[in-house]
Amino acid sequence: MKFNWSLRSTSAVIGAALALAAPAGAQCEYSVITWPQWQCPAGASYSYTAFGLNDLGAWCGYRWQCWQEGNGDFAVYCPPGGMPQVLPMPAGASAGGAQATAVNNSGVVVGFKYVGASDQYLHGVIWWPDGSVETIPPPPGLPYSRAIDINSAGVIVGETGHLPYVLKDGVMTLLPDGGLGGGYALRIADSGHVTGILGNENVNARAFRWRDGELTLLEPLPGHPISVARDVNSDGHVVGYSKIYLFPLPSVQTPTLWIGNEPIELPMPPGYTIGAAGRINDSGIINGSCNGPGLGSTQMLWIDGAVHILNTLTVPGSPSVGSIVRINQAGQLLSSGGPRLWSPTWSSPMDLNGDCAVNGSDLGVLLASWGATDFDPRCDFNGDGMVDGNDLGTLLGEWTWQR
């Protein structure tokens, strides 16, 4: 297998953004970029569905095939500022086609192809920037190898035979299920922290964190028997929700952040009673959704410990936010349908985490690249090929900058 693409670290320091007792110092306003639907020759049109977003603004996902093309899906990749491109169909894919789920900063895309007469199996796929395509074979005796995420170092995570896996340098490691009866890995941070779910989400599920062979089960908030993870950042902070399953009544879900092994309840706006945190970046900006009687489901942002309704932070006249699937290190948000890419409208180049302020969080991002050969290029403000005192001076010159 090929694992020799160039690497770029985007690790950063969380700093004050995860000090949940602090009030919010800034609110972002977001503008949106959308893409037109795909037009079929017979006149039908289909929207793209997005799943993956990298730090440069590239995204990936899939579109339905026109009837002249087949009855399945085409995996797609959209370069930064460009138009969606159909990726090559992997060899051996069944009629269901293929979908892309994640893209890293080097443009390596991962996902899966449907396999079997009834599209019943999902085999992982890697689309390389040179146009070649590689299948991730399932382990012997197991039917799946679905790839779900990839980090900047090219490490892939996913699910095979109801077990989470980590694929590094061509070697697949199956993670233990903690005695909970299987699960899957959802996200991997640039630091190598992995998160996902073990067990049954309606019975005994536990969020987990894994790194370098060490598995940690994350307990839910008190009074909630179930914990579910959705994302992890480079400091190993995990977001998701704690759950009480009450069928046939609606389940109780409380948005939760885990710092270390400690579950922390994230606040919800007045009137909202059910929520889930779904995404977190390395600067500690958290996205999720909340639901309340008569209010419906609404996307939220947690910034510096305060919760904001995302639709109230968008430029007037913008479409509804939709369902957010990713947040990147620049603070951009990707919603699946359409798709739609939301960016801070006035973001200074020194606002490295997109929270509309230049402060300690951005300083942490810069210091993580200080003197490094694989530095985050966003921190090289003067373009001299290094991150040093000149760039620090530029950042400090806009300290406390905000709208």
Does 370 fall in a domain? no
Band (pLDDT 50/70/90 cuts) for residue 366 is very high
* pLDDT over 80 (residue 81): yes
Scan for tokens 């395509």, then name that residue: 133
Cα separation of 15 and 207, whole Å?
24
Burial 64-95 (b: 16+ CB within 10 A, else e): bbbeeeeebbbbbbbeeeeebeebebbeebbe
Q: Would you state the structure tokens that stand for residue 298, as one six-digit string?
A: 């609404």
Does 36 fall in a domain? yes
CATH value at residue 212: 2.130.10.10
Average of pLDDT values for 3-11?
25
Number of domains, the chain? 1
Does 132 fall in a domain? yes
* pLDDT over 60 (residue 14): no
Band (pLDDT 50/70/90 cuts) for residue 347 is low
**Residue 344's pLDDT is what?**
81
**Residue 361's pLDDT is what?**
81
* pLDDT over 70 (residue 192): yes
Does 61 fall in a domain? yes
Rg (CA), the chain: 21
- With contact defined as beta carbons under 8 Å apart, do 43 and 351 qualify? no
- With contact defined as beta carbons under 8 Å apart, do 304 and 23 qualify? yes
Residue 1: C-alpha distances to residues 126, 166, 216, 342, 396 (Å): 10, 15, 30, 35, 44
Query: What three-state secondary structure class fits 379?
Result: helix
Starting at the edge strand that comes first in sequence, how are the strands of the sheet with 133-136 ordered?
A: 98-103, 109-115, 121-127, 133-136
**Residue 190's pLDDT is what?**
96
- With contact defined as beta carbons under 8 Å apart, do 148 and 101 qualify? yes
Question: What residue numbers bound the domain in which 245 lies?
Answer: 28-348
* pLDDT over 80 (residue 23): no
Closest CA to 150 of 161, 138, 130, 136: 136
Q: Would you state the structure tokens that stand for residue 339, as one six-digit string?
A: 């798709």
Cα separation of 32 and 21, whole Å?
30
Query: Residues of the chain with pLDDT > 70: what percent?
Result: 91
Band (pLDDT 50/70/90 cuts) for residue 27 is low
- With contact defined as beta carbons under 8 Å apart, do 110 and 99 qualify? no
Evaluate the CA torsion angle 373, 376, 382, 387 in order and state its sign: negative
Band (pLDDT 50/70/90 cuts) for residue 349 is confident
* pLDDT over 90 (residue 78): yes
Does 119 fall in a domain? yes
Does 357 fall in a domain? no
Q: How many CA atoms lie within 13 A of 216 on its CB side?
A: 20
Q: Would you state the structure tokens that stand for residue 7, as one six-digit string?
A: 């690497």
Average of pLDDT values for 339-361?
81
Burial 184-202 (b: 16+ CB within 10 A, else e): bbbbbbbbbbbbbbbbeee
Q: Would you state the structure tokens that stand for residue 362, as one six-digit string?
A: 């951005």
| 197-231 confidence digits (pLDDT tens) | 999 999 999 999 999 999 999 999 999 999 999 99
Closest CA to 351 of 401, 294, 290: 401
Closest CA to 82 of 343, 319, 351, 341: 341
Q: Per mean pLDDT, which range of 111-120, 243-252, 306-315, 338-347 is the poorest?
A: 338-347
Band (pLDDT 50/70/90 cuts) for residue 15 is very low
Q: Would you state the structure tokens that stand for residue 168, as one six-digit string?
A: 């590094």
